[in-house]
Amino acid sequence: MATKTLTLLGVGDIILGPDTDPYFDDVQATLKACDILIGQLEVTHSDNDPKSIELGRDMRALGILPKVGFHVMTLAGNHVHDAGPEAIHDTIEWLREHHIHPIGAGMNIQEARQPVMIERDGTRFGFLSYNCVGPQETWATTEKAGAAYVHILTHYELDHANPGGPPSIYTWAEPDSLNAMLNDIHQLRPLCDILVVSFHKGLVHMPIKIAAYEQQISHAAIDAGADLILGHHSHILKGIEQYKGRTIFHCLGNFVTYLPLLAPKPGQDPKSWARRRIELFGFLPDPEYPTYPFHPEAIYTIIAKCQIEDKRISKTSYIPLIVNKKGHPQVVKHDSDGQRTFDYMKKITESANLNAQFQWDGDEILIAP
């Protein structure tokens, strides 16, 4: 007997501000029209940590998440330890109290690597999440709170006679942490019908480029049994890949990201991060986006969508969005605005030598098998 058709939606980085509810006004109906909704919470929140309160990251800001229907929230990321272990604890407990499953972080590495299991109409979903970027201080250990992780190694090779010149850069996963991730997948695989792995990974603020390790770990996860890969962290949309019939969203881009702190200002200290990242990554935020100081191409973003029938993913697609000047993500239809996001995704996918192909399916964009 056929089971009910189910829908899973996934969104990228979320950084909440003091009055975040209006930021979800244009996407709330879309988010609620699914059976499982997963997102990435970029920072922790606490009412007890002075730094969290100073930045407006108290618990009240989280109130929008259950309102719009999130079921799973990944916490594995490079900012998970910014406010220390107390904020990790407070965020995890708040999410659980509000019936949202936290994943990818914990008070020790055993907790951080624990999967989340959700059942919908007889179909079992399993979720795992890992951080691949940022300082080792974010990693959980047997005695320290933090994120589940895959340790990425970087090698710079000068392949021409030009000392001090630009090198070739090679990246790959350190074997022990990669094997730990694969072991988690192997253990979860028999317990679920749909297995989703989330990675905080990629080259931040840099259009198109996919680092070698991103495909390595994504392919390895699928080889071990994952059905879907959801990437985030880069703060800019990246291309889509299909591997062995599974879809890899290399980076879903920003979703709701309120960050006026990083908007460059006249006379600002040149050593401030708001200024340094302009030099490091070669972009200047659009001054008309005061709460959204990201690469100008970061206005394009998406919601990943999977249709599940008979306990398997039968179709993957994405819902196109454009972030407006208020920093609000807006769903765009099959019109000129929707075509802008379609064209951008097509360009960055092809330019990164990824193999996904796209076609309109109503107001969604089908990822062609």
User: Mean pLDDT across the chain, nearest whole number?
Assistant: 95
Q: Per residue of the chain (369 residues), what is the pLDDT tens digit?
A: 556 899 999 999 999 988 899 999 999 999 999 999 999 999 999 998 887 877 778 999 999 999 999 999 999 999 999 999 999 999 999 999 999 999 999 999 999 999 999 999 999 999 999 999 989 999 999 999 999 999 999 999 987 778 888 899 999 999 999 999 999 999 999 999 999 999 999 999 999 999 999 999 999 999 999 999 999 999 999 999 999 999 999 999 999 999 999 999 888 888 898 999 988 999 999 999 999 999 999 999 999 999 999 999 999 999 999 999 999 999 999 999 999 999 999 999 999 999 999 999 999 999 986
Per-residue model confidence as pLDDT tens digits over 77-129: 999 999 999 999 999 999 999 999 999 999 999 999 999 999 999 999 999 99
Question: How crowded is residue 69: how many other Cβ atoms within 10 Å of its Cβ?
Answer: 16
Question: How crowded is residue 211: how many other Cβ atoms within 10 Å of its Cβ?
Answer: 21
- Alpha-carbon gap, residue 221 to 204, rounded angstroms: 22
Q: How far is CA 18 from CA 53, 61, 131, 342, in A?
A: 10, 6, 26, 32
Domains along the sequence of the chain with CATH = 6-259+294-368 (3.60.21.10)
Per-residue model confidence as pLDDT tens digits over 156-193: 998 777 888 889 999 999 999 999 999 999 999 999 99
Helical residues (DSSP H) of the chain, grouped into ranges = 28-32, 50-54, 64-68, 84-97, 109-112, 175-188, 212-224, 273-281, 336-351
Torsion 151-76-305-96 (CA) sign: positive
pTM above 0.85, yes or no: yes
Contact 130, 173 (CB under 8 A): no
Question: How crowded is residue 126: how many other Cβ atoms within 10 Å of its Cβ?
Answer: 24
> How do beta strands 101-103 and 72-74 pair?
parallel
